[in-house]
Structure 1
Amino acid sequence: MKNRVISVDIFRGLTIALMILVNTPGTWSNVYAPFLHAEWHGYTPTDLVFPFFLFIVGTSIAFAYQNKTPSATTYRKISVRSLKLIGLGLFLGAFTLSFPFIKDFADIRFPGVLQRIGVVFFFAAIMFINFNWKSLVGICVVLLVGYWLLMGYVPVEGMESTFDRAPNNLANYLDIKVFGTHNYKPDYDPEGLLSTLPSIASSLLGIFTGLILTSKRERKVLILAGLGVAMLILGYLWDTVFPINKALWSSSFVLVTAGWANLFLAMIYYFSDVKKLQFGSVFKFVGANAITIYFLSSFISKCMGQIRIGDTSLHGWLFQNIYVHGFMPMKLSSLLYALTVVSFYIFLAYVMYKKKIFIKV
């Protein structure tokens, strides 16, 4: 990307680091509340992480594709990258260390984080090179309002639809009908089919921020902060009729998370790009190989959970023998384990960066 904005790289890397942190506690039975997802409605700091990444995907699209025109070559590159992301996600969902190294078909999860990133990237990138920003605003509004109307007013099996975790929740209903046993939970998937529509809007909102950052406008920090506050207000107002919910990726959730993303990015942009302060380099290293680092962390964590040592796993053995001490609260031990894992991948990203190893997915 030409004319790189340092804050975007830092924000991307920070998001990946946070994704690894919340995904790899020492034990899931002892985790501080901010590092857990909300049970259903509402949100925690952890619920901000994935939408932040989809937001920054959109911002990066605005940088990488600003001079691209619709062509067979461009469409092919976008499609190939999307399929790679989806393929990596399906691999994580299907892989097991037991021969023949593939789960029973009924146990394979089809949706997932990387799959959603791939789908969102595909549609957001295609839209960006075909429509101007005004049209993209219209598409974003249609996605968010349309999703609200679908979720709130389309009956399910003759019953009034609900936003609760129930059989007559339209998003959950469709996931069960389409994916069957291939969902994250028996009754829903947080990266499900219908909720992918508003997740595309998350990326489109990131595109608008990217356009602001690549423009010649002055006072970009104030513009981003103003957008952030406006989105938060609209999101909380919408929450009164369409609750903020990550599992459903509700329209209010999209606005609130994009609002926070704009505020955080405005702050990072002010210090790194305006004031030229040297900070956040460790996260810049992670951002340079974001998908690679995330995939490796997920794959290695999965393997460590399956390698058996006595009556526990390699993951469990390391945690119990190195981090669990009588004088230390278990939640703190669990967090220290997660911080160690994050530190390892930051170091790996640093080595890759210094050796100029950049793996583009």
Structure 2
Amino acid sequence: MARYEPIKECSDEKEDAGMADREGIRRDDVDVEAASAIRISEPTSTIVACDPSEEDPSPVPPDKSQPRQRLASLDVFRGLTVVLMILVDDVGGLLPAINHSPWDGLTLADYVMPFFLFIVGLSLALTYKKLSCRASATRKALLRTLKLLVLGLFLQGGFFHGVNNLTFGVDIEKIRWMGILQRIAMAYLVVAVCEIWLKGDDHVTSELSMFRKFRFQWAVVLVLVILYISLLYGLYVPDWEYQIPVVASSSELKIFSVKCGVPGNTGPGCNAVGMIDRKLLGIHHLYRKPSYARTKECSINSPESGPLPSDAPPWCQAPFDPEGLLSSVMAIVTCMVGLHYGHIIVHFQEHRDRIRQWIIPSFCLLFLGLSLDFFGMHVNKDLYTFSYMCVTAGAGGILFTGIYVLVDVYGYRWTTMVFEWIGMHALMIFILLACNILPILIQGFYWKQPQNNILSLMGV
């Protein structure tokens, strides 16, 4: 039976650092905790750091005779995902083939979120490979989760609406509670707590012994999958209605009634994911431009945005949050899969062992997800279905393995230096480009009239 270390009280940070030094652990191995895969932090941490001088935890135990090395493939994978995010955000509207799928199906854009979550889990395994105080680590994880939630609410909550017409500002009535960073924060907290508290002290010598060491974490995964599937396919979705302003009038509202009255529906209008968000978050606090507005039922230009067909169903203009509460349950599972891949780095030092233990489950997940899609459990990003989780997590594992072989095994870092740099400065890039901060800075300073901004001086 696995034994667990007693909870230790930490008197101060100096004692914590001293214990880490005596055990051969760097300070950042104890203190640095991942808050998101896109480095919502200073650029040189694993993901979120307290000190800009801190570096990523090394995948191998420290060797006093040799300098510690970063796991370059992790930075490259993170940077590649950020580039992919920027690409689909800027070009997706012009090329529907790479834009988010309107509903069922999978496109290039639909891999971005799972890849971020995969990196979060993988990084957490490196961050928490050694712990001097579980209680202290838990407090820090809670604090960093709160910081990430606040940052996500500020950047993606709707404060910066109307950027193009220079009317951006705070809109509390329509603030969006959920978003990319909020989902990452939820997954980070759950996985961090699991990694801090739910692992034994078994000595890992094989795949079986590693499963025994982390068996309680796998039990959490099983519970989350069962919970999600049970709610998605078992909850009864009643009829519901919503209101939107009439185009010709700013005060008049038009009411739409959506007929459901069915359980287990996975269509855009009558699924349990949307129902839970409407009940708990409020329909006015959901995302107002859902992907299903580009379906054939809702756009005559599908898969591009366009005017509504004459026989469009009533749910076409309803808000729906792709980063909702129930769908985030399965997102946590993606993060747990990444955690397992990180465990392989920590407990197996040979490249051959790592690659074998990554590539086999990756292809198994990919095959399982495609099989489930074939038999009716469709791959769907907005619902974050179990089949979608399997396909994207398997693809993430395969991609990371390929990058690891190229960069960390064969040493071709020069071919991926740009992605590595982006991965190390992903916070700055994400905020400036993906959150409309750069357009606000460029257009927000003007002379007398809003139109006389920096862009006008440049002739744009």
Structure 2-normalised TM-score? 0.63
What is the distance in 2 between the residues matched to 1:316 and 1:131? 54
Aligned length: 317
| Equivalent position to 1:128, from 169, 190, 195 | 195
Deviation at 1:306, TM superposition (A): 6.9
Structure 2 unmatched ranges of 5 or more? 1-56, 60-69, 200-213, 239-260, 289-317
**Alignment partner of 1:173 is 2:239:** no
Q: Deviations over 1:96-123 (max 9, x none)?
A: 3899974222221111011111111111
| Alignment correspondent of 1:151 | 232
Structure 1-normalised TM-score? 0.79
Question: Does the Cα contact within 8 Å between 1:231 and 1:255 map onto a contact in 2?
Answer: yes
| Alignment correspondent of 1:294 | 430
Higher relative contact order (CA 8 A, sep 6+): 1
Question: Does the Cα contact within 8 Å between 1:97 and 1:303 map onto a contact in 2?
Answer: no
**Alignment partner of 1:161 is 2:264:** yes
| Alignment correspondent of 1:252 | 387
Instruction: Please identify, of 46-55 and 301-310, the stretch whose mean Cα deviation from structure 2 is larger.
Output: 301-310
Quickly say closer, same or farther: Cα 1:172–1:318, change in 2 above 3 A. Answer: farther
Please say which structure displays the higher CA radius of gyration: 2
| Alignment correspondent of 2:170 | 103
**Alignment partner of 1:303 is 2:443:** no
1:61-80 alignment, distance < 5 Å: 61-68=124-131, 71-80=134-143
| Alignment correspondent of 2:78 | 12
Residue 35 of structure 1 aligns to a residue whose secondary structure is coil
| Alignment correspondent of 2:376 | 241
Deviation at 1:8, TM superposition (A): 1.1
Quickly say closer, same or farther: Cα 1:102–1:312, change in 2 above 3 A. Answer: closer
In structure 1, give the amino acid aligned to 2:378.
P
**Identical pairs, percent:** 33
Question: Does the Cα contact within 8 Å between 1:58 and 1:207 map onto a contact in 2?
Answer: yes
| Richer in helix (by share) | 1
What is the distance in 1 between the residues matched to 2:170 and 2:121? 33
Instruction: Please identify, of 37-46 and 143-152, the stretch whose mean Cα deviation from structure 2 is larger.
Output: 143-152
Residue 163 of structure 1 aligns to a residue whose secondary structure is coil
1:33-48 alignment, distance < 5 Å: 33-48=96-111
| Alignment correspondent of 1:283 | 419
Q: Deviations over 1:276-307 (max 9, x none)?
A: 12221111112223233212321425627975
Quickly say closer, same or farther: Cα 1:105–1:305, change in 2 above 3 A. Answer: farther
| Alignment correspondent of 1:54 | 117
Deviation at 1:313, TM superposition (A): 11
| Alignment correspondent of 2:204 | none
Residue 231 of structure 1 aligns to a residue whose secondary structure is helix
Question: Does the Cα contact within 8 Å between 1:176 and 1:187 map onto a contact in 2?
Answer: no
Q: Deviations over 1:20-75 (max 9, x none)?
A: 222234xx6x5213430000011101100111011000000001111126633211
Structure 1 unmatched ranges of 5 or more? 323-361
Deviation at 1:12, TM superposition (A): 1.0
| Equivalent position to 1:268, from 395, 403, 412 | 403
Q: Deviations over 1:133-192 (max 9, x none)?
A: 2222222122123211210122123522311101x3111011112222011133310000
